[in-house]
Amino acid sequence: MPWPTRARRALPLLGIVAASSALAAMESDDNPFLEPVPVVLTVSRLSQPLAEAPAAVTVLDRELILRSGARTLAEVLRLVPGFLVASNEYGAPVATYHGPVEEFPQGMQVLVDGRSQYSPTSLGGVNWSGLAVTLEEIERIEVTRGSNSAAYGSNAFLGIVNVITRDPSMTHGVGVTVTEGQGGIEDRLVSVGGHVGAADVRLVASSNRDEGLPAQFDSLRQRHLNLRAGLQLTDRDRLTISAGRLRGNLAIEGTPNSGTNPPRDPRPIDQNFAQIDWLRALDADTDLLVRYHQVEDFGGEVLRLSVVPATLDFRYHSRRHDFESQLTTVLSPTLRVVGGLGHRVDRFSHNSDFYGMSDPYQRVSRLFGSLEWQPADDWRVNAAATWEDDSNSETTLAPRLALHRRVAPGQWLRAGVSRAYRTPSLFEQVGRTRFQTDGGELVEWVNIGRGDLRPEQLDTAELGYVANFPALRSNLDVRLARERTTRGLLSVSTPVPPELGPDFTDSILSTYNGFHSTLDSLELQWRWQPLAGTRLILNHTAMHMEGGVSDTVRAVAISPAYLSDISTQVADSVPAYTSSLIWLQDLPGGLRLTAIYRSVGAMRWTPAAANSVHAYETVDWNVQWPFSGGWGRGEVAVGVLSDSSSHAEFRRDEGVDRRAYATLRLAL
């Protein structure tokens, strides 16, 4: 396809400004952008050079994260090939890798220092507006592009976002960040770090607010308090403790004078967590990691209807306990292995979504293992598998096998196959959402779990090519993949079963193993540093999906028009392409310019064809001016997000407008 218009027009300007890098500070042969291929930790649970990892990985370092101008983790993921991110009317972004996508995407595992963000209260997905971490705390993000159930279990169905925060020993002193911008953007952060006895400690307090999308009642207010401490107990033992609290509220749109959807108070958000990691070096080649964390989540609202004397209780309370133990060892100069076990229990109450259930819970036990074998200097073999027993579904075994061949210095080919599973969430499996009057009379059944769901299955075959060209100051990452989904979980509107009793409506939602799909994709990430002060990153993904719904879904769908919508959404839910060009430019006087161009093809997040969004292009830009003095360091940044015409990302009637902002960052 022809190069999009905005990018083509930007090329002459890029050349002019790039030439000015010769005047930038200290032109030198140092090339920090193209250091040796980075080491990644996520894919196999083993420390490996990126080129030798058994899956495609994108690494986002701290500099790129802060220069992007992003305010949330979901926005940062727009810099990753194949990631689909949108802002919706609920004040919470949605994000997923490849697809098929849906209104509430599931199948992505997000880890923050090893702590899963997969929420039982978000229909089994990630609550992107409820992540208890700020971008200022992040050291790097490793994104596994493609399923990784073989190493992390069913939640890693489509991929993994592994957030690694800064070590407390690196953050001594006081940091202050203030951001003001259009759309009600008001962000504040204070970080204090130092020694407390023998421990390195960091405490971060922050607040964030914005008014959401234009013409939508979806403002968001949040306050974070995070603590992280590291203590070297002995020369072999290290203890890391983390704890945090997230509070806030999310405004949800209502209709004035409506009897069924009245205006309501903002929905509260309240989450706390605690985590402890113990790392012990058993010998020079063997490490033992033991991790435990617990998360408690409160939220929801109580809604009073006037059309009938009914009170709808949407409040929820969930508690997670998660334990994991992992042993890593070197068996020989050519063989390394890692293995372990884990156990997780989620218990929660949700008054309207689990009608008649006194103590809903989900229990998951898992065994995992990975090995890396080097049969020759130019060959690598990676194998992994995770066995998982879920009280909510059947037992699964997710395997992966990858073969690497070095075809030239710094150039590796990869061939891999894997099978991944996503077990149904408790809500999908047995949820029962019923609205009733204050006297207990049925008003409406909204959802009912049928209790017979099987795990989704994803079979992937892929080829990869990773190359580093030091002489050209460039590197390249290419992934060619076919991903086949069977027994896909699909929420379907069906007639109300007679046994549920009379209902004010004629339909109810139930989840079925209801679709199948095949996604073919070609993905590349190219990084180039033509001059010491100029860096370019080009991401491009081309995708084609085919699929359909099962005969069971065809038989139970509420109407032919609805069946047509859900059938075509499977194929229409991924865009034909996504592209981005990231330009990082050092300018005279210490100024730094970042410009990000993105282009996304037409797609559909929800079943209704009327909600399809057109292809769009956006440009974000950011200019930073660092300064310093005897008191410390600082930086002023100004920028614009979506510096283009208004466009829709999630639904056609939900426009995303231009927003300018300014940030002051101080390190004292």
pLDDT tens by residue, 106-161? 889 999 999 999 887 756 688 888 888 999 999 999 999 999 999 999 889 999 99
Confidence of residue 643 (pLDDT cuts 50, 70, 90): confident
Annotate 92-122 with b (16+ C-beta within 10 A) or e (fewer).
bbbbbbbbbbbebbbbbbbbbbbbbbbbbbb
In CATH, what number is assigned to the domain containing residue 498? 2.40.170.20
Note the pLDDT of residue 502. Answer: 64
Please tell me the least confidently modeled range out of 135-139, 186-190, 534-538, 562-566.
Answer: 562-566
Number of domains in the chain: 1
What residue numbers bound the domain in which 649 lies?
5-667
| Averaged pLDDT for residues 649-667 | 86
Q: Is the pTM of this model over 0.85?
A: yes
Task: Answer whether residue 6 shows pLDDT above 60.
Answer: no
| Averaged pLDDT for residues 265-270 | 80
Confidence of residue 573 (pLDDT cuts 50, 70, 90): confident
Q: How far is CA 477 from CA 58, 377, 410, 467, in A?
A: 9, 21, 12, 7
C-alpha torsion 21→23→28→33, nearest 10: -20
**Integer Cα distance of 432 and 497 in angstroms:** 13
- What is the pLDDT of the chain when averaged over all its residues? 87
Confidence of residue 254 (pLDDT cuts 50, 70, 90): low
Higher pLDDT, 229 or 612: 229
Task: Answer whether residue 23 shows pLDDT above 50.
Answer: no
**Integer Cα distance of 452 and 307 in angstroms:** 35
| Averaged pLDDT for residues 162-174 | 96
**Integer Cα distance of 121 and 317 in angstroms:** 8
| Averaged pLDDT for residues 211-222 | 73
C-alpha torsion 146→150→152→156, nearest 10: 30
pLDDT tens by residue, 606-641? 777 677 888 999 999 999 999 999 889 999 999 998
Which DSSP string do the residues of 553-587 spell out, in sequence order? Answer: HHHH-S-HHHHHHHHHHHHHTS-SEEEEEEEEEE-
| Averaged pLDDT for residues 546-574 | 85
